[in-house]
Structure 1
Amino acid sequence: MTASFGSAPAGGSAPAGGSAPAPRSDDAALLAAARTDLGAYAVDEVTGLLGPVADAALHREQRVPALRAARASSAPAAAVVRTFLLGDTVRRRELDAALPTLGTAGAERLGLVGAAGADGEDEVRARCDLRPYAATDAGGEATWWVASDLGEAATGAPLAADHVLGIGGASLTLAQVTVRTPRRRALDLGTGCGIQALHAARHCADVVATDLSARALAFAAFNAALAGVGLDLREGSLLEPVAGDRFDLVVSNPPFVITPPAARAAGLPAMEYRDGGRGGDDLVRDLVVGVGEHLAPGGVAQLLGNWEHRVGEDWRERVGAWLADSGLDGWVVQRELLDPAEYVETWLRDGGLRAGADRGRYEAAYDAWIGDFEARGVEGVGFGYLTLRRPAATRTPWHRLESITGDVRQPLGGHVAAVLAAQDWLADRDDAALLGSTLAVAPDVTEERYLRPGALDPEVILLRQGGGLGRTVQAGTALAAVVGACDGDLTLGQIVGAVAALLEAPTDDVVGEIVPQVRGLVLDGLLAPTPS
């Protein structure tokens, strides 16, 4: 379960006329006071204050229902919501009552708000977005208050180039797919407001967080200090700040948007949080190829990214070549595919251009962007997540590239860790060793059989995975019988031999059919090795 009521929109904005300074992270007493006061307002309480209709509207970046609900409430939480989530003006006395330890004066000194004066009736307005965050990742539940720049729904102003993004859908996805086994050193590459670094700090001894943006690092420093977490913050582009360092875990939601120079020349602003300044999908490729230098043996890197689909070229060939150049294990899951027009429209909206409000600049940027895609033969852009690993032992790297667009059950981090462990287990066992192993059906696997009315034998047998990536495997009679007998008692070889006898088929033939399929089921988590 994940909740971040009214999650920060993919394209929020800083105040018109320039970005406000990030909140201060150097006053321990004020931070402790803020932590005490804000701890009274959890996600569930604020969601309850707004109600389901207003909460849903806020997730769609529509604040009017939330404003109505919050203005109608006399609860202290309403003043916090109005100020920091909705960009509304409140009276000083209202915020003083909502933050009794910190007070408006303390919030001013931290740089969270600006006040018109010291009188209780004077107006107070937020200088940043500040909201509770609650999520469940593979390590359990996590809750913090997280600051970022105010969003467009709160300000109505265009994006600033140095806008620091809050927690959106991509951030949640990365947090939930990341493995959470204990690690010594972790790197959050392009940390933004610092949310991935906060997640990593729960299971890693040391966390380094980098960003090209000094403002982003300042927000990350505030969020870490508010959470009571220590981070090693370094300014610089991509992997430059960690030259010579190695990590056990690298996470990154990098600035991967494919924005051609022609679109920027036509009026689309360049945003630090999304535009990496590389041609096409080169930034993601360079990260895939280069991150291995910074992984310790057994180290894992998990990235979000997108890649071009070019005419006459399967995307798996394109991204597979990156994996081959990396020398790492690689698992790439494509979750979404947009045609060029859909992709351009998505990021034009994110960049603050609207067809109605600024038709000339909008259409000029649109035309330039589409023209760049056409010139380079780009017929679509895929989005998804990549898991890379430096093998702990010398062997041929394992690569898997697939498109999975259906619903998946989050968090996936535990499943990702299990797949990596299963891949190692399989790599260490030839077919004879596999046949000598005992296996058990995973508890989330069910079997479905489809028969025609009156028939005794099924025409279709499906094995369905309830968790993980929700895979469905069509099984033949032999495989279904083998899986049904895997309870951790008999070895796979004993089961296959019995099934071959039952089907009156040569054992070697059944072995040749079943063993590759069983390897796939173990890798995907439908079958699991049992302790010997």
Structure 2
Amino acid sequence: MTAVSDALPPVPDPALVSALAADLDASDFRSEPLRRLWGEEADDALGRGVREPLLRAVDGDSSALATLGRLLVLGMPQPAALVSAALPRLGAEGLAALGLARVSGADAVPTALVRPQSFVDADGIGEWWIASDLDELALGTELPADHVLGVGGASRTLAELIVPTPVGRALDLGTGCGIQALLVSRHAGEVVATDVSSRALAFAALNARLNGVSNITFQLGSMFEPVEGEAFDLIVSNPPFVITPRVDGVTAYEYRDGGLIGDALVEQFVRSAPAHLTPGGIAQLLGNWESVSSGSDPSTGPGAEGSTTSGLDRLESWIAPDLDAWVIQREELTPLEYAELWIRDGGTTPREPTFGRMLEAWLDDFAGRGVTAVGFGYVLLRRGAAGRAPLRRFERLSQPLSAPGRALRDGLAAHDVLGDGIPQTLVTASDVTEARHYMPGDDDPSVIELRQGGGFGRTVSADTALAGFVGACDGELTVSQIAGALADLFDVPLADLWAELEPRIRELVQDGFLVAAS
């Protein structure tokens, strides 16, 4: 039988939560003070799951910050007297009443973590206190099936992807500890946060109160069931998309496993979300999608013998053709790599006898369904304007991304602008540079590259005509004037030059190398 948490979910009692927030604020319980307390090297080691350097750094330190760091960041028991001194308004007993600890003899034993989480968005720099279940480092064992995860890498990734546009109503589907709902609340009038786990909703409600956020409501239920018939300007989701075999001996974690076969949960989301979008509304999620051998995926029809349907092609087939769709695949893993990743994520290492059995179960599941690879990436859907050709981008990007949320916003805006044709006057974006490569002794470059410093960090090969066009886009000359000058320079018919340049210019506008002059 799969283990579940022994600790009860937290109780967001308003008075107690207010006392906790005041105590954490008074002790300066925030990321930078904690990092200074135990040092950058120890803080970085904790991010890798190693806590010994941190413990050495605060050994014998009974200050409020050190006590709370050991108790709430590491999940280690502390003397109740020290905890009450560190939390003078709440006390150890109040922390227990909130469901975040229990008092056992002379000690306060944590039953949850509370960690500061800094963030940067369009409105500036901020920080939340985020409560979640004890992690495997604190538990010293495999995570229970109903574990409520804190802020992990996927949460931070989705936060960076959210298009930074003010909206009226937003939905955080599968809210978990509530971090996305909190972030979205900063530019939404109202946020609805849903989850299939009542335990997760309790943590999310506590975190909203702890951080003084009042425009979020919480609803229990699976997928879109709690918001049937409702529409939103923005839907965000870090859903439980992990592909897990449905066999005994393999734990199905609520925070990452949606209970469906293969990538069916992602399919269900992209098929269902559009019905809950307002005109112009956007849905964004993280997900996995499988590449499958021919005959294994009935949704895409029969394939040639020995062929494979890529995950991106399968995903595209699930999205209605009249929707704007922008999908970015960040990585692709083999079945073995994928299985190892998620077995370790649950706290099981190769040293444990269960590791091999779980690995076999994963590989058997993939083999039985003809899965050859699993992609991971980002999905953006938009209900675009009627009568406009939809945006359809399905691409693979592995390079580092800078402010991808703004890049997605600008890409959508560029698509809308291009619907009326190439703007009359263009300006080269400030982050674009040009690199030219020459063979020794040559006067003319053999390779010209346009490089994007921000956004998606794209590199585009250019010929001398396209490079000349981009170089002339300073907002003074119109597009037609620049094209005419280049036709004269290269002594070619303008119509021929424009036929070659026009689609390349469109691509550069779409990708943010060129922007409409203001």
TM-score by length of 2: 0.93
Match of 2:305 in 1: none
Match of 2:401 in 1: 408
Match of 1:521 in 2: 508
Which residues in structure 2 correspond to 1:362-377 (within 5 Å)? 362-377=355-370
Match of 2:420 in 1: 428
Tell me if the contact between 1:70 and 1:81 (Cα under 8 Å) persists in the aligned partners: no
The alpha carbon displacement at 1:61 in A equals 1.2
Q: Are 1:232 and 2:214 counterparts?
A: no
Match of 1:394 in 2: 387
| AA matched with 2:147 | H
Q: Are 1:291 and 2:273 counterparts?
A: yes
| AA matched with 1:30 | L
The alpha carbon displacement at 1:310 in A equals 2.1
What is the alpha-carbon distance in structure 1 between the residues aligned to residue 82 and residue 34 of structure 2? 16
Which residues in structure 2 correspond to 1:123-522 (within 5 Å)? 123-230=107-214, 231-261=216-246, 264-265=247-248, 267-311=249-293, 312-323=308-319, 325=320, 327-357=322-352, 359=353, 361-409=354-402, 411-429=403-421, 434=422, 437-522=424-509
What is the alpha-carbon distance in structure 2 between the residues aligned to residue 146 and residue 334 of structure 1? 29
Change (3 A) 1:212 1:44: same
Change (3 A) 1:17 1:515: closer
| AA matched with 1:412 | P
Match of 1:4 in 2: none
What is the alpha-carbon distance in structure 1 between the residues aligned to residue 60 and residue 487 of structure 2? 72
Tell me if the contact between 2:113 and 2:132 (Cα under 8 Å) persists in the aligned partners: yes
Match of 1:44 in 2: 32
Q: Are 1:98 and 2:86 counterparts?
A: yes
What is the alpha-carbon distance in structure 1 between the residues aligned to residue 98 and residue 453 of structure 2? 47
What is the alpha-carbon distance in structure 2 between the residues aligned to residue 72 and residue 449 of structure 1? 59
Say which of 21, 25, 33 aligns to 1:35: 21
The alpha carbon displacement at 1:413 in A equals 1.3
Change (3 A) 1:418 1:329: same
What is the alpha-carbon distance in structure 2 between the residues aligned to residue 260 and residue 60 of structure 1? 27
Structure showing greater relative contact order (alpha-carbon pairs closer than 8 Å, 6 or more residues apart): 1
Match of 1:11 in 2: none
Tell me if the contact between 1:308 and 1:381 (Cα under 8 Å) persists in the aligned partners: yes
What is the alpha-carbon distance in structure 1 between the residues aligned to residue 280 and residue 443 of structure 2? 50
| AA matched with 2:240 | P
Q: Please list the CA deviations of residues 51-94 of structure 1 after superposition, one character each: whole Å capped at 9, or x if unmatched.
A: 12211111111222222223343432110110011122211222
Match of 1:3 in 2: none
What is the alpha-carbon distance in structure 2 between the residues aligned to residue 160 and residue 499 of structure 1? 66
What is the alpha-carbon distance in structure 2 between the residues aligned to residue 353 and residue 116 of structure 1? 29
The alpha carbon displacement at 1:260 in A equals 2.1
What is the alpha-carbon distance in structure 2 between the residues aligned to residue 132 and residue 184 of structure 1? 28
The alpha carbon displacement at 1:326 in A equals 6.3
Q: Please list the CA deviations of residues 77-129 of structure 1 after superposition, one character each: whole Å capped at 9, or x if unmatched.
A: 11011001112221122222322332223222222221224xxxx21121101
Tell me if the contact between 1:268 and 1:353 (Cα under 8 Å) persists in the aligned partners: no
Tell me if the contact between 1:308 and 1:315 (Cα under 8 Å) persists in the aligned partners: yes
Tell me if the contact between 1:187 and 1:207 (Cα under 8 Å) persists in the aligned partners: yes
What is the alpha-carbon distance in structure 1 between the residues aligned to residue 501 and residue 33 of structure 2? 53
Tell me if the contact between 2:37 and 2:58 (Cα under 8 Å) persists in the aligned partners: yes
Q: Are 1:107 and 2:95 counterparts?
A: yes
What is the alpha-carbon distance in structure 2 between the residues aligned to residue 326 and residue 478 of structure 1? 35
TM-score by length of 1: 0.91
Tell me if the contact between 2:4 and 2:146 (Cα under 8 Å) persists in the aligned partners: no
Q: Please list the CA deviations of residues 441-461 of structure 1 after superposition, one character each: whole Å capped at 9, or x if unmatched.
A: 011111111112332211111
| AA matched with 1:36 | A
What is the alpha-carbon distance in structure 1 between the residues aligned to residue 407 and residue 399 of structure 2? 16
What is the alpha-carbon distance in structure 2 between the residues aligned to residue 491 and residue 32 of structure 1? 59
Say which of 47, 54, 60 aligns to 1:66: 54
SS at match of 2:475: strand
What is the alpha-carbon distance in structure 2 between the residues aligned to residue 461 and residue 72 of structure 1? 61
- Between 296-305 and 373-382, report the one with greater CA deviation: 373-382
SS at match of 1:207: strand
SS at match of 1:470: coil
The alpha carbon displacement at 1:17 in A equals 6.8
What is the alpha-carbon distance in structure 1 between the residues aligned to residue 223 and residue 35 of structure 2? 37
Change (3 A) 1:392 1:141: farther
- Between 223-232 and 71-80, report the one with greater CA deviation: 71-80
Say which of 79, 90, 105 aligns to 2:67: 79
Tell me if the contact between 1:138 and 1:179 (Cα under 8 Å) persists in the aligned partners: no
Tell me if the contact between 1:447 and 1:463 (Cα under 8 Å) persists in the aligned partners: yes
What is the alpha-carbon distance in structure 2 between the residues aligned to residue 138 and residue 404 of structure 1? 24
What is the alpha-carbon distance in structure 1 between the residues aligned to residue 155 and residue 5 of structure 2? 25
What is the alpha-carbon distance in structure 2 between the residues aligned to residue 69 and residue 129 of structure 1? 20
Tell me if the contact between 1:292 and 1:390 (Cα under 8 Å) persists in the aligned partners: yes
The alpha carbon displacement at 1:489 in A equals 1.3
The alpha carbon displacement at 1:242 in A equals 0.6
How many residues get paired? Answer: 500
What is the alpha-carbon distance in structure 1 between the residues aligned to residue 411 and residue 75 of structure 2? 44
Q: Are 1:89 and 2:81 counterparts?
A: no
Match of 1:9 in 2: none
What is the alpha-carbon distance in structure 2 between the residues aligned to residue 442 and residue 224 of structure 1? 39
Instruction: Report percent identity of matched pairs.
Output: 49
Change (3 A) 1:286 1:17: closer
Which residues in structure 2 correspond to 1:2-21 (within 5 Å)? 18-21=5-8
